[in-house]
Amino acid sequence: MPVSDDTRVETDTAGPAPTGSTPTSPATGPAPTGLAPTAPGPTGPAPTDPAATRPVPTGPATTAPATTGPAATDGMSAVGTEPAAVGTEPAAAGRRGRFGGSRWAGPVALGIVVAALAAFAVHLALAYTDARSRSAAEREVLVPAKSAAARILSYDYRHIQQDATQGAAVLTGDFRIQYETVMRQQIVPQAPKQRAVVQAEVLSAGVSGMNADGTQAVVLVFANQTVSNTATNQPRVDQVRVRLTLDRVSGRWLVSKVDAL
């Protein structure tokens, strides 16, 4: 329906609400659009937390795992050197062990050499002492060996019992028993009847062997044995070679065995 002039005037007189008036209540007015009202202050966007709004770097230079530059290098150095420090500990310990070993290697080697030389010197001293002892024992055994050979290879019917006793005195062991048996059963009864006289002269003697402790020696004896009895017109000379085994018994060298050669 057409509006009258009076009606238009009233409408124009009402007009829009002046600016700066009280804002329309949210319950009756339209929803506000745009930015929310802010406190009076400088115009422009409200300040924000740089850390909260900093964009995440996406370029190669800003990628965290591969970050380069002084700061990144420091960070990697701190992280990278931690395993290195742990890894170098055994090496350092090994070096200390090697250096420590080399520090003791000289004295230990010297001690071993000194001990070896000392042992060798002792061995030489003992060998020299043994050699001197054996040499002295060899010289010592020759005298009783020659004397014993002369006694057991000689007898005279005129003092046959005395000769048998003197011969047995330089013997020992089983051989002494054998000698006494032969003298008692054969030589003593027959020598007076045949007027048997046997005289042994030792020409030479030499030691052919001796045991390690110098208590037994083997002596070779070369002698001439002059024999006379009622069966011979003149004395006969026989060459005799015997091997005597002598044992040291209570400090004396006694014959324990006789072998004819």
Tell whether 154 is covered by a domain.
Answer: yes
Tell whether 83 is covered by a domain.
Answer: no
pLDDT at 72: 42
Tell whether 105 is covered by a domain.
Answer: no
Tell whether 54 is covered by a domain.
Answer: no
pTM, whole model, 2 decimals?
0.53
Tell whether 120 is covered by a domain.
Answer: no
How many domains in the chain?
Answer: 1
Tell whether 172 is covered by a domain.
Answer: yes
CATH number at residue 166: 3.10.450.230
Tell whether 214 is covered by a domain.
Answer: yes
pLDDT means per 10 residues, the chain with 261 residues, are 43 43 43 44 49 50 46 44 48 49 68 81 69 76 96 96 96 97 96 96 94 91 96 92 96 96 91
What domain range includes position 224?
142-260
In the block, tokens 């052919």 appear at 208
Tell whether 210 is covered by a domain.
Answer: yes
pLDDT at 232: 87
pLDDT at 103: 67
